[in-house]
Structure 1
Amino acid sequence: MKKILVPCDFSDSAIQAFKFALQIAKQSKGEIILLHVVEPPFLRGTMLVPPLYFEENFLNDMTVSAEKNFEELKSKWANEGIKIHTLVEHGPTTKTINRIAEENKADLIVMGTQGATGFKEFLVGSNTEKVVRFSSLPVLAIRKSLELSRIKNIVFPTTLDPKQNKLLSHIRELQNFFSAKLHLLLVNTPHNMKRTSDEKVMMEEYAKEFDLQNYTINTRNDFYESDSIINFTNEIQADMIAMGTHSRKGLAHLFSGSMTEDVVNRMDCPIWTYSIKD
């Protein structure tokens, strides 16, 4: 987590993401790229305001405003010694975020969300959901910043898919960074039920296959995966949830989109996602 991209619209949720990213950068001795994306307006031309003239002035004004806000943000929250780059880019938000991440070889995107409403939009086509879907990088969604030292228990819901080498590599990195315990969670539903006698053996083999350390094995039976994940996370008072996603279906590689929406809408803790490509 040496190079962290933080898309920023200067909302409270974006500031929370920036504050959390600062802590990550401090611990990793990394750097932050603060990015503000301005989408050009699409207006029909009129005799009074030609669209090119309007757009040029609009973009210039928005750029000046963003640069001023960047300075205030850094002055209020940034720590000495942390390298922070600021960028103002014009274009489609999602594509621009992913392009800047690739061009700058970022290895983590930290984005803010407003909670229930923000995460509802997150999962029905908003910019954050699209970033999660198409980004080749891990994405960490933050509702409220918290101290890194508080993250000691990470819930990792899994389907025990053996073809998850990249995902598990990132999971181990995430766990090591926070020096946290990993809690593997297998949820049985009426449509996806495994025999109780097989569950523990399967999970132990999975953990051994991917060389997991400092972990617990947990299974739950429920009608809905989301309820089980939420209840388990609250039960052990976990500090983060780490989930694999699918590039074609957004947050649906391990779970249905509506289920994941339910989880993140009802949880305050950070949600880490990684998109598994086909």
Structure 2
Amino acid sequence: MTKVLIPFDFSEQAQNALQFATNLSAKFENVQITVLHVIEVPASSGMGTMGGGEAVPEYENQMFFIELMDRRKQQFRDMETQYAGNSYAFNTKIVLGNAFQNISSAIQEENPDLVIMGSKGSSGLEEVLIGSNTEKVVRTSHCPVVTVKAAVDPTNFKKIVFASDFREDQDELAHRLKNLQKWFDADLYLVIINTPGSFETTRESAARIKKFAAKYEIEHAVAEIYNSDSEEAGIVEFAEDIDADLIAMATHGRTGLAHLFTGSIAEDVVNHAKRPVWTFKTK
């Protein structure tokens, strides 16, 4: 059975992620979708939802909290009724606590094959100092994560961009990537972004892509070298230029000071790309 986890905060982006997941899952048999909502309890005395709901007054206002819980439970019961009778199994779950910690715990406990979640993106100081729950999940999840912003129909996907430098052996990543391509029955564009700071000849780049495709027996693939000022900008620009449906990338999942100083190209792309992004944390 293929297990899909959807962190859900009732925002427009979460609704888009849910629709993405159900549309895609309807194509296959033995898929289980679990929709997870976290009613967040910050360290302070206040309470708030996972990010897409109304702000909650002080914890002492027990009546408001009870009403919120009842409303969310009813919304999930309505959702279960709405999605009943499909080819996939559909479950919902509500938990209390910190959003990111509970999503991470669910990933560990449920061991999903894929996480699909909405993203509003972020920029500037918020992106550098805080980030989002989506960004943190991308950085730490042991399974692939698809981030969705706008409403899109994945059953019509035909072009996937996979950006890499293709320098390392990536057995697990290549296996996941081939499964992703099979899921969508799409062409795969293998692209190296050539920047002024890491320039190399087209011949060198093309040789590495060709070696990668041959080693992992990737079919229906197109090799591309794209010039840009930065890797993140080049990936987004290339995907826009060919009107790609999905961007796929690996992330090294750096945390703490290592992440603060080096950043993450994958997280930058998740924040800035308008189209869905598939990420997988490599070891």
TM-score by structure 1 length? Answer: 0.84
Aligned partner of residue 112 in structure 2, secondary structure: coil
Tell me which moved more, 98-107 or 236-245: 98-107
Measured in 2, the distance between the counterparts of 1:171 and 1:42 equals: 39
Match of residue 151, structure 2, among 145, 151, 155 = 145
Distance change >3 Å, CA 124–CA 87, structure 1 → 2: same
Q: Report what 1:132 is aligned to.
A: 138
Q: What does the per-residue CA deviation read over 1:224-247, in whole Å, with 9 as the maximum and x for residues that have no partner?
A: 223322222122111100011111
Aligned partner of residue 72 in structure 2, secondary structure: helix
Measured in 1, the distance between the counterparts of 2:140 and 2:5 equals: 15
Distance change >3 Å, CA 139–CA 213, structure 1 → 2: same
Matches within 5 A, 1:224-243: 224-243=230-249
Matched, 1:33 2:34: yes
Deviation at 1:74, TM superposition (A): 3.9
The answer for unaligned runs of 5 or more in structure 1 is: 46-52
Q: Which amino acid aligns with 2:12?
A: D
Q: Report what 1:187 is aligned to.
A: 193
Measured in 2, the distance between the counterparts of 1:122 and 1:82 equals: 39
Measured in 1, the distance between the counterparts of 2:278 and 2:194 equals: 22
Tell me which moved more, 180-189 or 124-133: 124-133
Tell me which moved more, 102-111 or 175-184: 102-111
Distance change >3 Å, CA 79–CA 111, structure 1 → 2: farther
Q: Report what 1:49 is aligned to.
A: none
Q: Which amino acid aligns with 2:16?
A: Q
Measured in 2, the distance between the counterparts of 1:157 and 1:274 equals: 12
Q: Report what 1:48 is aligned to.
A: none
Q: Report what 1:80 is aligned to.
A: 86
Tell me which moved more, 105-114 or 68-77: 68-77
Q: What does the per-residue CA deviation read over 1:88-130, in whole Å, with 9 as the maximum and x for residues that have no partner?
A: 111221121121122122111110123567xx75994221111
Q: Which amino acid aligns with 2:114?
A: L
The answer for unaligned runs of 5 or more in structure 2 is: 47-58
Matches within 5 A, 1:185-264: 185-249=191-255, 257=263, 260=266, 263-264=269-270
Q: Do the aligned residues in 1 keep the contact of 2:247 with 2:277 (CA within 8 Å)?
A: yes
Q: Do the aligned residues in 1 keep the contact of 2:251 with 2:266 (CA within 8 Å)?
A: no
Distance change >3 Å, CA 226–CA 220, structure 1 → 2: same
Q: Do the aligned residues in 2 keep the contact of 1:38 with 1:62 (CA within 8 Å)?
A: no
Aligned partner of residue 28 in structure 1, secondary structure: coil
Matches within 5 A, 1:258-277: 260=266, 263-277=269-283
What is the aligned residue count?
266
Distance change >3 Å, CA 221–CA 166, structure 1 → 2: same
Deviation at 1:223, TM superposition (A): 2.1
RMSD across aligned positions (CA):
3.0
Q: What does the per-residue CA deviation read over 1:5-56, in whole Å, with 9 as the maximum and x for residues that have no partner?
A: 11111111111111111122222320110111122254569xxxxxxx8387
Deviation at 1:57, TM superposition (A): 6.1
Measured in 2, the distance between the counterparts of 1:189 and 1:43 equals: 45
Deviation at 1:66, TM superposition (A): 1.5
Q: Report what 2:52 is aligned to.
A: none
Matches within 5 A, 1:100-119: 100-115=106-121
Q: Do the aligned residues in 2 keep the contact of 1:123 with 1:261 (CA within 8 Å)?
A: no
Q: Do the aligned residues in 1 keep the contact of 2:161 with 2:189 (CA within 8 Å)?
A: yes
Q: Do the aligned residues in 1 keep the contact of 2:34 with 2:90 (CA within 8 Å)?
A: yes
Q: Which amino acid aligns with 1:157?
A: A
Matched, 1:155 2:155: no
Q: Do the aligned residues in 1 keep the contact of 2:38 with 2:96 (CA within 8 Å)?
A: yes
Q: Do the aligned residues in 2 keep the contact of 1:122 with 1:129 (CA within 8 Å)?
A: no
Distance change >3 Å, CA 153–CA 210, structure 1 → 2: same
